[in-house]
Structure 1
Amino acid sequence: MAKTANKKELILTSAYQVFKENGLEDTRVSQIVKKAGIAQGTFYLYYQSKLDVLPDLAQQIISNYTKYLTEHGDLDAGLDYNLRLAINRIFETNQEDRTIPSIVYAGITRSGDIDKWKVIYRPLYDLVANYLEAAKKKGDIGTDIDADYYSEFIISLIETTARGMILFQRTPEEIKKYKEELASFILNAVSWDPVKVL
């Protein structure tokens, strides 16, 4: 079993590097296996195509977010602290690696495996929902806030904004301002009494 896990991990590590170097369209399975130093048939034991690798790469990225926030987050520190922690981590990851988050997102949506996408994100959504529930108990945000829905809105908004910083090539000063405004926007949104649309 360890040997199998190692080969799959080797494929993922190599795919990550090749996607980063070449982009989604110009990456070939042959390039991935060459970098991994394995036979092409070995790749097909785990994946049917290069697109099939992308959900597992997404899993790694989202798991890294969740692990970081679990290790550094603190429910007692309040929503503001934990929200800013999430914003900073997601922005930093997107700034450090400007290609992979977009490639993974494009790849999963093109592969049509949206159900897998939801499963991949669930631990991160649940973590943010816990931040929101703790804030509700402390009376810091509206009690009508549905933590499960809002956690998805919040993560989507942070990721979309972080990707926009890359797309529009914002300066470090602009990025800092965007992060501040984003945190303020989200905190204000959860503090309001929600308007129920019938």
Structure 2
Amino acid sequence: MAKTSNKKELILTSAYRVFKENGLEDTRVSQIVKEAGIAQGTFYLYYNSKMDVLPDLAQQIISNYTQYLEEHGDIEAGLDYNLRLAIDRIFEANQEDRTIPSIVYAGITRSGDIDKWDLIYRPLYDLVANYLEAAKKNGEIGTDISANYYSEFIISLIESTARGLILFQQSPEEIEKYKEELSSFILNAVYWTPVKVI
């Protein structure tokens, strides 16, 4: 079983490199298997096409965010601390690798695997929801908010802002300002008592 896992990991690592170098449109399965040093038939034991690789790549990216927050987060430190940690990590990951997140998200959309989004993101959403629940108990934020919904809003906002800054090629100083304002915006949103729309 370890061998199977290793081959799949090898395919994913190679696909990551080839997608990064060539982009989604110009990547071929033949290039991925050449990079991996495996037979093309081996690729098809795990995936039907290059597009089928994309959800697993997305899962790796999101798992890296979650793992980082689990290792460095501290629920006792409060929402502000953990929120800033999430913003820093997601911004940093997008700045380090400016092509892969966009390729993965575009690829999932095009491949019709939207239904996998929740499965891929659920551990990260749940972690942020735990931060929000702890903040509600500590009186840091309003008790009326839904931690589950707000966790999705927060992650979507952080990711879309981080990706937007890549497109507009902001300076490091401007990126820091965006991070500060984004943190303030989210904290203000959760401090408020929501008005229910009827």
Task: Tell me what 1:77 maps to.
Answer: 77
Letter in 2 for 1:52: D
Task: Tell me what 1:144 maps to.
Answer: 144
Task: Tell me what 2:35 maps to.
Answer: 35
1-structure distance, mates of 2:34, 2:19: 13
2-structure distance, mates of 1:139, 1:5: 45
Structure 1: 4+ residue segments shifted above 4 A? none
Unaligned runs of 5+ in 2: none
**Identity percentage of aligned residues:** 87
List per-residue Cα deviations over 1:60-105 (Å, max 9, x = no partner): 1111000000000001100000000000000000000000111110
Give the secondary structure class of the aligned counterpart of 2:141.
coil
Q: Does 1:187 align with 2:177?
A: no
Within a 5 Å distance, the mapping from 1:2-41 to structure 2 comes to 2-41=2-41
Task: Tell me what 1:117 maps to.
Answer: 117
TM-score (norm 2): 0.99
CA shift, 1:195, in A, is 1.0
CA shift, 1:34, in A, is 0.4
Letter in 2 for 1:46: Y
Letter in 1 for 2:79: L
1-structure distance, mates of 2:45, 2:186: 44
1-structure distance, mates of 2:26, 2:87: 31
CA shift, 1:56, in A, is 0.4
Give the secondary structure class of the aligned counterpart of 1:136.
helix
Within a 5 Å distance, the mapping from 1:57-72 to structure 2 comes to 57-72=57-72
Give the secondary structure class of the aligned counterpart of 2:62.
helix
TM-score (norm 1): 0.99
Equivalent pairs counted in the alignment come to 198
Over the aligned positions, Cα root-mean-square deviation in angstroms equals: 0.5
Unaligned runs of 5+ in 1: none
CA shift, 1:117, in A, is 1.4
